[in-house]
Structure 1
Amino acid sequence: MAQEDGLAGFALAVVREDGKWRCAPLESGALSDLDQAITELRKIRSTGATFGMLAVDDEFFVLLRPGPGGVSVLLSDAAAALDYDVAADVLDLLRVDPPDEDDETVWLEGDLEILADLGMPSGELQVIADEVELFPDEQLQMIAQRCGFVDQFREYLDSA
């Protein structure tokens, strides 16, 4: 695994309550520690939707959505598991073997329906994740646009 100290990117909690969206940062360790990100998201008390967005090193993104039956996750690039612990942890949680060392194919892994109830159909999420020429923050902004919280997302990025 690569050294993960000083990862670039962000870890963000997205909450919808009473019809209003808000975005808040997760602790910096959540960017490299999947368990920490999940724990922080579970601590958020809300009657509405709560999920997390991680954008890691301009390489890939992770969507996390804790629920009563476990955690739904989506990793935009399974090959990132070769270089990043957090991506390897996602594959482990999904019980998916990491790719071979020489496999450079980019493919997503996880629950494409993770945000379907919030206006992000699986087909559109697939199209966004397949846009490999975009940076993860750009892909996540497209998701925020589709789900209806792009203003809050931009405000968070501008303040970070």
Structure 2
Amino acid sequence: MDDTAVDFAVAAWREDNLWQLVTLPPRASESLDLMIDALRAQPGETGTIGFVSIAEELFIILRVRGEDVRLLISDVFAAEDWPLGVDALDRLGIPEEVEFEDSEPAGDLRIVDDLGIGPEEIELLLDDPDMWPDEVLASIAARIGFGEQFDAALEQLPD
């Protein structure tokens, strides 16, 4: 994972009303297309959610339901520095020549609205300067209902 600086990538989905969660192999985070393919491989009732943390600087949330792909980038400024971040910016149609001077999110702030976390709450989490990307994702996972599985998955990752 060093080439892409991905800290971790996980997929979560509901099956028989229970949340399932797996860590994704490093190859899944080599490109956004590979990540989408890995998420499509899961049998989620409400689609599959992917959480990716990159270089402890930013995160990407993906939501895949069939052909529908939704995306949220926590920090467009930081995304420009990482291959997966650039793929995500391209997918959102944000041209490379746009210069960002500050951290701001891009994409769908309503990505998990139907699961109980609206855009206002996501913005509050993103605006908290004391939270690292993995902490924001852990908070979102807990509020959706798979926080314990998320924490357990991260504990199993090599240092």
Q: Does the pair score TM above 0.5?
A: yes
Deviation digits for residues 95-128 of structure 1 (CA, Å, limit 9, x no counterpart): 112442xx43000000011101111111101111
Q: Matched residue pairs, number?
A: 155
Instruction: Provide the secondary structure at the position in 1 that maps to 2:131.
Output: coil
Question: How far apart are the structure 1 equivalents of 2:20 and 2:131?
Answer: 24
Question: How far apart are the structure 2 equivalents of 1:68 and 1:129?
Answer: 28
Deviation digits for residues 29-48 of structure 1 (CA, Å, limit 9, x no counterpart): 23341111001101112334
Q: 1:85 aligns with which of 83, 86, 97?
A: 83
Question: How far apart are the structure 2 equivalents of 1:127 and 1:32?
Answer: 30
Question: How far apart are the structure 2 equivalents of 1:157 and 1:88?
Answer: 25
Instruction: Provide the secondary structure at the position in 2 that maps to 1:83.
Output: coil
Amino acid at match of 1:31: S
Query: Structure 2, unaligned stretches of length 5 or more?
Result: none
Task: Quote how far apart the aligned CAs of 1:22 are.
Answer: 1.8
Does structure 2 retain, via aligned residues, the 8 Å contact 1:12–1:25? yes
Does structure 1 retain, via aligned residues, the 8 Å contact 2:46–2:65? no
Q: CA RMSD in A?
A: 1.7
Deviation digits for residues 56-98 of structure 1 (CA, Å, limit 9, x no counterpart): 1101000001123421000000012321111111111111124
Q: Between the two proteins, what is the percent identity of the paired residues?
A: 35
What stretches of structure 1 move > 6 A for 4+ residues in a row? none
Asked if residue 127 in structure 1 is aligned to residue 92 in structure 2, the reply is no
Instruction: Provide the secondary structure at the position in 2 that maps to 1:38.
Output: helix
Task: Quote how far apart the aligned CAs of 1:8 are.
Answer: 4.5
Query: Structure 1, unaligned stretches of length 5 or more?
Result: none
| Change beyond 3 A, Cα 1:10–1:153 | same
| Change beyond 3 A, Cα 1:7–1:116 | same
